[in-house]
Amino acid sequence: MRISKILERAKAGEQLSTQELVDLLSITDKNELQALYDCAYAIKEREVGTVAYFRGIIECSNICIKDCYYCGIRKSNRAVERFEMDEDEIFKEAVWAYKAEYGSCVIQSGERQDEEYISMIERVVKRIREATHGKLGITLSLGEQSEAVYRRWREAGAHRYLLRIETSNPELYAKFHPKDHLFETRKECLAALRRTGYQVGTGVMMGLPGQTMEDLVEDLLFLKRMDVDMVGMGPYIPHSDTPMGQEVRPYTDEQKKHALVLGLKMIAVTRIVLKDINIAAATALQALEYTGREQGLLCGANVIMPNVTETDYRPKYKLYDDKPCTDENSSLCRGCLSKRIKGIGETVGFGEWGDAPHFYKRTAK
């Protein structure tokens, strides 16, 4: 009864209290869960429609200067075979995404701050923009950089940037990162991205050891305060070659189910709170269950990031264990995903950038 009242108020656009958000994230009853997902879906339909936008993700290098304790490509993981695509390879994959009518591509890699890498990215972004006549949206996800670098890449033609905060709780952040990876720096980077004119996306991990429902609600309120345009968040999935993964151990089927439900609840409550932003159904959802990403769309997400990276490189870009689609080529991914999205009654926004209405509203102010 209490949950249905909260959901009624959410649907009517009323602001929910912190305790009410905790209550929504704590739902375990099957019918209440479905009511939560339905409420989020109704808000998604009203605010952003039921078109799923594709962002073709190019994982162009697994070399990283950072050492986050949860990440499979952290610099101290000697078990990873490192790779780096050259400019032509990145360009080729972006053009593939363009020809496949993906409205946007996402260039993602481990973090590097050397000039050689920075200028290579700058050149390739320019090349992609020119070759696609500015029609292929270009999102970057290349970690923490100086404001000057963000500006260079923005001027080259990138217009969106994803930088996950991972958790808005500075204590948890400190627990999962080495001492010189500062929460404040990450926050300042998000502010710099705003100043340089990007559509800014961030997100968190759910199910971190020691994380509470209250932490997750704080995460949501952080996203709201940061006035973000996009959210990409996913359940924490251990990677066995990381310090955290060795403590947590691979998930049992029961733990996978639990992580999936928590991920879906967070998507739903994010849609309820932030309404008109873009929310990605993270690939990590599919690692937990084959239909995880479609379930994400049905709970309020509206963006999917199919992998367009050369199949040979994919197994080397494993941020967590059991990452899906590492052996399917890009055309198969496109066909398979499109069919699955159609299957849940949505359409794919082929050839469209699919910017969040929130971005237009905030920039029109």
User: Residues interacting with ligand SF4, by CB under 6 A?
Assistant: 64, 66-68, 71, 73-74, 110-111, 143
Element (H, E) at 51: strand 51-61
Q: How far is the CB of 69 from ligand SF4 (least distance, A)?
A: 9
Q: How far is the CB of 320 from ligand SF4 (least distance, A)?
A: 10
- Helix ranges (DSSP H) in the chain: 2-11, 18-25, 30-47, 87-99, 115-131, 147-156, 170-176, 183-195, 213-225, 243-248, 253-274, 283-288, 292-298, 330-343, 357-364
Q: How far is the CB of 338 from ligand SF4 (least distance, A)?
A: 29
* 69 neighbors 244 (Cβ within 8 angstroms): yes
As given in the structure block, the two tokens for residue 357 are 């209405």
* 348 neighbors 51 (Cβ within 8 angstroms): yes
Please, which residue, 31 or 240, has the CB nearer to ligand SF4? 240
Please, which residue, 7 or 107, has the CB nearer to ligand SF4? 107
Rounded to 5 degrees, φ, ψ at 204 are -135, 170
Please, which residue, 73 or 105, has the CB nearer to ligand SF4? 73
Triad 56, 165, 315: Cα angle to 5°: 40
Q: How far is the CB of 103 from ligand SF4 (least distance, A)?
A: 25
Please, which residue, 55 or 66, has the CB nearer to ligand SF4? 66
Please, which residue, 71 or 206, has the CB nearer to ligand SF4? 71
Please, which residue, 66 or 159, has the CB nearer to ligand SF4? 66
Task: Tell whether the torsion through CA atoms of 334, 335, 341 and 342 is positive or negative.
Answer: positive
Distance of CA 177 to the CA centre of its chain: 19
Please, which residue, 157 or 238, has the CB nearer to ligand SF4? 238
Distances (CA, A) of 233 to 69, 124, 187: 18, 27, 16
Q: How far is the CB of 126 from ligand SF4 (least distance, A)?
A: 24
Q: How far is the CB of 67 from ligand SF4 (least distance, A)?
A: 6
* 59 neighbors 317 (Cβ within 8 angstroms): yes
Q: How far is the CB of 295 from ligand SF4 (least distance, A)?
A: 25
Identify any residues that bridge with 4 across adjacent strands, giving them in sequence order: none
